């Protein structure tokens, strides 16, 4: 690829030809302002995650293994969505030469670097279901269905080697991309070489394609294939919308947590919050657009093979979850986040971010949990069966582990990529309206 | 140093009255700086060190001076083609839509293809004016005005097709829910009716956005005409007997259109607020219009039409085709108009090429998803549409034209050399325009031409009436665009000035801020960045 190298022609910006504004003496970039001391929150969060995980396992042993497995998967898929959101925004800001985001770039990198770990979490359920439970959730793994006509049509896709091979491929993609971005960024911290940013920009261009494909197909494999009869071309975009939505929310929460500890003063300002809030708002609307389009087209055409999926989720108590998502995932945040003051105030925005992650959890529950109810006759009324604590435990396990690891990664390196070539622009970033 | 007041010097410099005679424009290493890839540097958005005065003169000059020599022949040709299309529409109205190649099986074909094609073209303008505005992409300033104009003209072309497709064109008013004596109402459950609302909303908001943005520039044209009249330096007398001067007409018409704009701070403030509000309103429109167009197909249960990814897929395709059209218009304009390339630089072309590459791959992603789910869904008929009727079969040539133009041809934009070669970009834009037309043709015709029973299979071939009405719509489009280029401000003057380096209050003059050192990285910085730096 000769074009690849032409995009990386560093001879045109050897330091010295053009001198960038020097921000190294900026008080905002002082060491104590951009480094975490101690990892107590991380340990605590991981502890909470572990306790929740144990609670989920206990739930599985005592109440229902499907229920526990589904709940764990809900938490894992939420964590994966957040980290993939980080990977997406990291590449998107790099590709668009965004200036304002230079101060939060490191946080995005930290989030992205969790993608392979969260991917492993999300891979546990299918592996367990395949090896131990023999398709208690993923119906296609169930030997009972092996003679199903529809399944026989798509059997190639569900060959164990192919299915788990794909899974490994996603993990490799996320691991490789995040590792490359983080390694370059840390190298830039040491050398200040801004051509590394250009290299990352180029990697992000094809990395984005791999990200798009891996998000779409991991959503097919880990969420849609629960019910092998169901299919929707929008599915990948739907999960991506959730990724971007919850990714921005996780970023806001971690930023606010750091600011509460007196860090990132003058680095991540209200101006950055404003922009993060705008993105949160934008992806609230984008998710609603995608979710509505998918639901509406299936509802309007009314073909049984597609509507079955929604019909199962609009009865047995799940319909309340459906309406909760309509209001809570879209209408409420839409009406709240539209206000400028909400977006610029850390506390208000963090509340909305927490709300967003809750909604992402409910969205995952809406997709995953009814499957356990469908497969397990005695748990038909799953939502009202008094064992909501298992759902809570599963979700908390995934989220707490994610944030615990996130904090740990944040503590291991400076919070800001100080030598980002657009640092001056980001530090002085302003929204005029 | 000088006895003149320093403010006077600054004012003169800004107005372009005291520009140094000799000035090295280009840095030996980075050239004009447009194509520099350094992530720390914002490339200049306006080249050749234009001053505020020069920007006004150049942009107003396009409307004030005699048009270039090619303009009149081009206009007459486009207008002639538009008239020819009009004649064929007249013939269609008199004779009936049996003159089209439609038949019992394929009852939507060229007409709806053209409708979706033109509606899609418009989306780039809305994206540039609304979404890129919200994203603070300053490079949009050089292309937004012409892209918005293109949007309006494309919607006009698009609206023609459903209008004449209904058969009894004199009853077209019944598309709107107007109370009538027969109590006949449109079907509110039909996406075709939503189209009427979506497209008319889109046309209204786009027109408002475009027009409102032009008001200050129209006022500039008005004032310049007025000034020339007062100085008795007006243009030629229009009629030898009635002493009407061209500038008098200009002052009157532009004055009427500029709605009493006086360049006061209060006016600017209101303008900025209104602009932002309109950008906010237009943003959902970018998505909604083509989503509803996609509902025309996707709400049905026709194999190949009913698929849930249609809304975002159509939107991405619309932006894709729209940017290709922007490039098709601006690349020749850049070559044909003097000084045009100072504002629409190679960087602008490159950015648009990147968007074409991105949206082209989004469309490719959607093609792949459709294919994959057609197989995965296990529905024989769904798969047959893709495998037998599209990838193979009598319309395979159309399908593969679509794939090669939309998915393969933009891939050359991975190379920077190609992205910055106006010829390569023009060729790809041309191919993409063809490919996007074929995309709609493939979706519509290949799904319809073979129904479940082989007895219902029928081919569609266009008649000369089909072809000429489509060609005529290009004539209309170009006629309107050429008129726009001649009579209206082609660039947003105030926005162009805001991205000039001297717009910064801390700009330190010629010869220093250009191409070297600190100043270079600040080309794109706005006032407050500097103000802030001082404060820190």
State pLDDT tens for residues B424-463: 999 999 999 999 999 999 999 999 999 888 888 999 999 9
Partner-chain contact B376 A154, CB within 8 Å? yes
Residue among B23, B28, B509, B26 at smallest CA distance from A17: B28
Partner-chain contact A18 B30, CB within 8 Å? yes
**Burial class, A112, CB count within 10 angstroms (exposed 0-12 / middle 13-18 / buried 19+):** buried
Q: Work out the pLDDT band at B491, boundaries 50, 70, 90.
A: very high
Read off the pTM: 0.91
Encode pLDDT of A136-162 as tens digits.
888 888 888 888 888 998 999 999 999
Stretch among A295-299, A349-353, B7-11, B159-163 having the lowest mean pLDDT: B7-11
| Nearest-CA distance A276 → chain B (Å) | 12
pLDDT at A123 over 60: yes
Instruction: Please enumerate in sequence order all residues whose Cβ is within 8 A of that of B51, keeping only pairs 6 or more positions apart, or say none.
Output: B13, B14, B15, B16, B19, B500, B502
Residues 255-294 of A with CB under 8 A from B: 278, 285, 289-290, 293-294
Tracing tokens 């309406």 back to the chain, one arrives at A323
The reported pLDDT for the residue numbered A404 is 95
Show me where the domains of chain A are located: 3-427
Partner-chain contact B309 A18, CB within 8 Å? no
Interface probe with B: pick from A10, A13, A18, most Cβ of B within 10 Å: A18
Interface probe with B: pick from A236, A297, A422, most Cβ of B within 10 Å: A297
Q: For B414, which residue in chain A has the nearest alpha carbon? A: A3
Q: How far apart are CA A239 and CA B232, in angstroms?
A: 67
pLDDT at A38 over 80: no
Q: For A150, which residue in chain B has the nearest alpha carbon? A: B378
The reported pLDDT for the residue numbered B241 is 74
Partner-chain contact B38 A26, CB within 8 Å? no
Kindly state the tokens that stand for B231.
């100085």
The reported pLDDT for the residue numbered B528 is 37
Partner-chain contact A233 B301, CB within 8 Å? no
- Whether A5 and chain B come into contact, CB under 8 Å, resolves to no
| Nearest-CA distance B130 → chain A (Å) | 13
Neighboring chain A residues of B272 at a CB cutoff of 8 Å: 433
Tracing tokens 């459709």 back to the chain, one arrives at B370
- Whether A154 and chain B come into contact, CB under 8 Å, resolves to yes
- Asked if B40 contacts B521 with a C-beta cutoff of 8 angstroms, the reply is yes
Radius of gyration of chain A (CA): 22
Q: How far apart are CA A333 and CA A353, in angstroms?
A: 9
Q: Which helix (H) or strand (E) holds A365?
A: helix A346-375
Name the phi and psi angles at A159, rounded to 5. Answer: -60, 130
Strand partners, A15: A18
Neighboring chain B residues of A154 at a CB cutoff of 8 Å: 375-376, 378
- Whether A233 and chain B come into contact, CB under 8 Å, resolves to yes
Helix (H, G, I), strand (E, B) or coil at A15: strand
Instruction: Please enumerate in sequence order all residues whose Cβ is within 8 A of that of A54, keeping only pairs 6 or more positions apart, or say none.
Output: none
Stretch among B134-138, B331-335, B430-434, B475-479 having the lowest mean pLDDT: B134-138
The reported pLDDT for the residue numbered B535 is 38
Q: How far apart are CA B435 and CA B429, in angstroms?
A: 10
In chain A, the percentage of residues whose pLDDT exceeds 70 is: 92
Partner-chain contact B29 A26, CB within 8 Å? no
Q: How far apart are CA A153 and CA B140, in angstroms?
A: 49
Q: Kindly state the average pLDDT of the residues B414-428.
A: 94
| Nearest-CA distance B24 → chain A (Å) | 16
Q: For A425, which residue in chain B has the nearest alpha carbon? A: B529
Q: Work out the pLDDT band at B531, boundaries 50, 70, 90.
A: very low
Stretch among A114-118, A134-138, B249-253 having the lowest mean pLDDT: A134-138
Kindly state the tokens that stand for B152.
């309006």
Partner-chain contact A153 B29, CB within 8 Å? no
Residue among B285, B268, B210, B257 at smallest CA distance from B492: B210
Partner-chain contact A153 B378, CB within 8 Å? yes
The DSSP secondary-structure symbol of A339 reads: S
Average pLDDT for chain A:
89
Neighboring chain A residues of B525 at a CB cutoff of 8 Å: 425
Partner-chain contact A154 B375, CB within 8 Å? yes
The reported pLDDT for the residue numbered B26 is 61
Q: How far apart are CA B213 and CA B208, in angstroms?
A: 8
A21 vs B135, B377, B518: nearest CB: B518
Stretch among A44-48, A102-106, B463-467, B514-518 having the lowest mean pLDDT: B514-518
Q: For A97, which residue in chain B has the nearest alpha carbon? A: B39
- Asked if A163 contacts A135 with a C-beta cutoff of 8 angstroms, the reply is no
The reported pLDDT for the residue numbered A209 is 96
Chain CA centroid to CA A132, Å: 28
Partner-chain contact B528 A428, CB within 8 Å? yes
Strand partners, B245: B237
Instruction: Please enumerate in sequence order all residues whose Cβ is within 8 A of that of B125, keeping only pairs 6 or more positions apart, or say none.
Output: B144, B147, B148, B149, B150, B151, B152, B154, B206, B322, B326
Q: How far apart are CA A264 and CA B517, in angstroms?
A: 29
Q: Work out the pLDDT band at A7, boundaries 50, 70, 90.
A: very low
Q: Kindly state the average pLDDT of the residues B160-165.
A: 91
The DSSP secondary-structure symbol of B172 reads: G
Q: For A237, which residue in chain B has the nearest alpha carbon? A: B309
Partner-chain contact B378 A303, CB within 8 Å? no
Partner-chain contact B300 A12, CB within 8 Å? no
| Nearest-CA distance B189 → chain A (Å) | 10
Partner-chain contact A12 B416, CB within 8 Å? no
Q: For B298, which residue in chain A has the nearest alpha carbon? A: A297
Neighboring chain B residues of A13 at a CB cutoff of 8 Å: 36-38, 40-41
Strand partners, B66: none
Helix (H, G, I), strand (E, B) or coil at B463: coil
Kindly state the tokens that stand for A408.
């740990």
- Whether A209 and chain B come into contact, CB under 8 Å, resolves to yes
In a 13 Å sphere around the CA of B482, the CA atoms on its Cβ side amount to: 21
Partner-chain contact A433 B525, CB within 8 Å? no
Tracing tokens 């840390």 back to the chain, one arrives at A186
The reported pLDDT for the residue numbered A9 is 52
**Burial class, B3, CB count within 10 angstroms (exposed 0-12 / middle 13-18 / buried 19+):** exposed
The angle that helices A65-95 and A105-112 make with each other, rounded to 10 degrees, is: 140
The reported pLDDT for the residue numbered A405 is 95
Neighboring chain A residues of B311 at a CB cutoff of 8 Å: 289-290, 293, 297
Partner-chain contact B369 A216, CB within 8 Å? yes
In chain A, the percentage of residues whose pLDDT exceeds 90 is: 65
Q: How far apart are CA B271 and CA B273, in angstroms?
A: 5
The reported pLDDT for the residue numbered B44 is 86
Helix (H, G, I), strand (E, B) or coil at B27: strand
Taking the alpha carbons at both ends of chain A, their separation in whole angstroms is 43
- Whether A43 and chain B come into contact, CB under 8 Å, resolves to no
User: Phi-psi bin for B36: left (phi > 0), alpha (psi -120 to 50), beta?
Assistant: beta
| Nearest-CA distance A253 → chain B (Å) | 23
Q: How far apart are CA A244 and CA A194, in angstroms?
A: 27
Stretch among A27-31, A122-126, A148-152, B237-241 having the lowest mean pLDDT: B237-241
Residue among A163, A158, A171, A57 at smallest CA distance from A120: A171
Q: Of how many residues is chain A composed?
A: 433
Q: Kindly state the average pLDDT of the residues B348-375.
A: 95
- Whether A2 and chain B come into contact, CB under 8 Å, resolves to yes
Encode pLDDT of B47-68 as tens digits.
888 888 899 999 999 999 889 9
The reported pLDDT for the residue numbered A146 is 83
Q: Work out the pLDDT band at B185, boundaries 50, 70, 90.
A: confident
pLDDT at A27 over 90: no
A231 vs B30, B134, B376: nearest CB: B376
Q: Work out the pLDDT band at B10, boundaries 50, 70, 90.
A: low
Encode pLDDT of B501-529 as tens digits.
888 777 766 544 444 333 333 344 343 33
- Whether A300 and chain B come into contact, CB under 8 Å, resolves to yes
| Nearest-CA distance B152 → chain A (Å) | 25
Stretch among A429-433, B281-285, B426-430, B500-504 having the lowest mean pLDDT: A429-433
| Nearest-CA distance A369 → chain B (Å) | 22
User: Phi-psi bin for B68: left (phi > 0), alpha (psi -120 to 50), beta?
Assistant: beta
Interface probe with A: pick from B26, B27, B32, B37, most Cβ of A within 10 Å: B37
Q: Work out the pLDDT band at B30, boundaries 50, 70, 90.
A: low
- Whether A428 and chain B come into contact, CB under 8 Å, resolves to yes
Stretch among A42-51, B28-37, B89-98 having the lowest mean pLDDT: B28-37
The angle that helices B191-230 and B110-126 make with each other, rounded to 10 degrees, is: 50
The reported pLDDT for the residue numbered B99 is 93
Strand partners, B31: B27
B39 vs A6, A198, A213: nearest CB: A198
Q: How far apart are CA B284 and CA B292, in angstroms?
A: 12
Q: How far apart are CA B115 and CA B226, in angstroms?
A: 42
The reported pLDDT for the residue numbered A3 is 37
Partner-chain contact A3 B414, CB within 8 Å? yes
Partner-chain contact B299 A2, CB within 8 Å? no
Q: For A199, which residue in chain B has the nearest alpha carbon? A: B39
Neighboring chain B residues of A192 at a CB cutoff of 8 Å: none
- Whether A3 and chain B come into contact, CB under 8 Å, resolves to yes
Kindly state the tokens that stand for A13.
């910006």
């Amino acid at each position: 690829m000769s074009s690849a190298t032409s995009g990386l022609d560093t001879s045109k910006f050897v330091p010295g030809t053009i001198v960038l504004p020097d921000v190294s003496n900026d008080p905002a970039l002082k060491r104590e302002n951009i480094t975490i001391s101690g990892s107590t929150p991380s340990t605590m969060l991981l502890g909470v995650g572990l306790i929740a995980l144990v609670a989920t396992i206990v739930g599985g042993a005592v109440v229902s293994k499907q229920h526990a497995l589904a709940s764990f998967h809900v938490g894992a898929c939420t964590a994966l969505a957040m980290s993939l959101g980080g990977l997406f925004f990291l590449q998107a800001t790099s590709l668009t030469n965004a200036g304002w985001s230079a101060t939060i770039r490191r946080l995005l990198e930290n989030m992205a670097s969790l993608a392979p770990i969260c991917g492993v979490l999300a891979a546990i359920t299918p592996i367990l279901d395949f090896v131990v439970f023999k398709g208690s959730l993923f119906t296609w793994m169930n030997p009972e269905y092996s003679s199903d006509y529809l399944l026989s049509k798509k059997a190639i896709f569900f060959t164990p080697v192919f299915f788990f091979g794909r899974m490994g491929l996603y993990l490799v993609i996320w691991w490789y991309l995040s590792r490359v971005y983080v390694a370059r960024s840390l190298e830039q911290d040491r050398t200040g070489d801004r051509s590394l940013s250009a290299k990352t920009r180029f990697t992000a261009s094809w990395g984005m394609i791999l990200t798009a494909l891996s998000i779409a197909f991991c959503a097919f494999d880990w969420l849609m294939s629960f019910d092998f009869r169901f299919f929707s071309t929008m599915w990948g975009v739907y999960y991506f919308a959730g990724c971007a939505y919850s990714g921005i929310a996780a970023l806001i929460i971690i930023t606010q947590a750091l600011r509460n500890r007196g860090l990132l003063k003058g680095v991540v300002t209200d101006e950055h919050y404003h922009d993060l809030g705008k993105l949160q708002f934008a992806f609230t609307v984008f998710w609603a657009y995608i979710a509505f389009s998918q639901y509406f087209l299936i509802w309007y055409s009314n073909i049984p093979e597609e509507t079955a999926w929604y019909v199962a989720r609009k009865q047995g108590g799940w319909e309340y979850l459906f309406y909760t998502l309509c209001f809570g995932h879209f209408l409420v945040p839409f009406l709240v986040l539209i206000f400028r003051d909400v977006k610029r105030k850390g506390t208000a925005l963090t509340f909305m971010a927490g709300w967003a992650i809750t909604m992402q959890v409910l969205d995952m529950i809406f997709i995953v949990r009814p499957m356990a109810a469908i497969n397990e006759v005695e748990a038909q009324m799953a939502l009202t069966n008094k064992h909501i604590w298992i759902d809570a435990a599963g979700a908390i396990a995934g989220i707490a582990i994610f944030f615990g690891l996130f904090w740990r990664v944040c503590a291991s390196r400076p919070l800001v990529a100080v030598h980002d070539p657009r640092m001056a622009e980001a530090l002085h970033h302003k929204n005029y309206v | 140093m000088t006895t003149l007041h320093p403010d006077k010097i600054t004012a003169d410099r800004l107005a372009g009255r005291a520009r140094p005679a000799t000035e090295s424009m280009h840095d030996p290493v980075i050239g004009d700086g447009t194509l520099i890839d350094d992530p720390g540097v914002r490339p200049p958005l306006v080249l050749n060190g234009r001053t505020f005065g020069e920007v006004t003169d150049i942009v107003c000059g396009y409307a004030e001076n005699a048009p270039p020599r090619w303009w009149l022949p081009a206009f007459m040709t486009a207008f002639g083609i538009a008239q020819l299309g009009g004649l064929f529409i007249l013939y269609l109205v008199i004779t009936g839509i049996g003159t089209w190649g439609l038949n019992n099986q394929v009852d939507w074909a060229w007409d709806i293809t053209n409708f979706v094609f033109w509606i899609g073209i418009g989306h780039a303008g809305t994206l540039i004016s609304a979404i890129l505005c919200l994203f603070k992409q300053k490079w949009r300033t050089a292309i937004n005005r012409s892209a918005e104009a293109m949007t309006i003209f494309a919607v006009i072309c698009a609206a023609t097709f459903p209008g004449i497709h209904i058969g009894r064109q004199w009853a077209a008013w019944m598309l709107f829910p107007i109370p009538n004596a027969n109590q006949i109402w449109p079907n509110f459950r039909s996406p075709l009716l939503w189209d009427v609302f979506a497209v008319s909303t889109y046309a209204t908001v786009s027109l408002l956005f475009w027009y409102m943005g032009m008001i200050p520039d129209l006022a500039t044209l008005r004032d310049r005409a007025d000034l020339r009249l007062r100085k008795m330096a007006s243009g030629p007398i229009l009629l030898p007997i009635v002493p009407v001067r061209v500038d008098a007409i200009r002052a009157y018409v532009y004055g009427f259109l500029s709605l009493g704009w006086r360049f006061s701070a209060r006016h600017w403030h209101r303008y900025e607020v209104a602009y932002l509000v309109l950008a906010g309103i237009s943003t959902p429109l970018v998505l909604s219009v083509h989503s509803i167009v996609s509902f025309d197909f996707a709400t049905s249960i026709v194999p190949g039409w009913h698929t849930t990814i249609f809304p975002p897929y159509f939107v991405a395709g619309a932006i894709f085709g729209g940017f290709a059209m922007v490039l098709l218009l601006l690349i020749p304009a850049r070559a044909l108009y003097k000084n045009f390339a100072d504002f629409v630089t190679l960087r602008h072309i490159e950015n648009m090429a990147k968007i074409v590459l991105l949206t082209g791959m989004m469309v490719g992603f959607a093609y792949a998803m459709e294919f994959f789910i057609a197989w995965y869904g296990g529905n024989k008929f769904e798969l047959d549409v893709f495998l037998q009727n599209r990838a193979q079969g009598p319309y395979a040539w159309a399908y593969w034209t679509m794939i090669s133009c939309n998915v393969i041809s933009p891939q050359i934009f991975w190379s920077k050399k190609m992205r910055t070669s106006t010829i390569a970009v023009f060729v790809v834009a041309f191919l993409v325009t063809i490919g996007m037309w074929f995309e709609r043709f493939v979706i519509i015709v290949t799904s319809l031409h073979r129904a479940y029973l082989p007895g219902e299979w029928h081919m569609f071939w266009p008649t000369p009436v089909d072809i000429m009405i489509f060609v005529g719509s290009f004539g209309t489009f170009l006629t309107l665009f050429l008129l726009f280029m001649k009579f209206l401000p082609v660039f947003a003057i105030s926005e162009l000035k805001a991205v000039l380096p001297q717009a910064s209050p801390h700009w330190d003059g010629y010869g220093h801020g250009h191409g070297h050192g600190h100043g270079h990285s600040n080309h794109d910085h706005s006032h407050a960045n500097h103000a802030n730096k001082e404060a820190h």
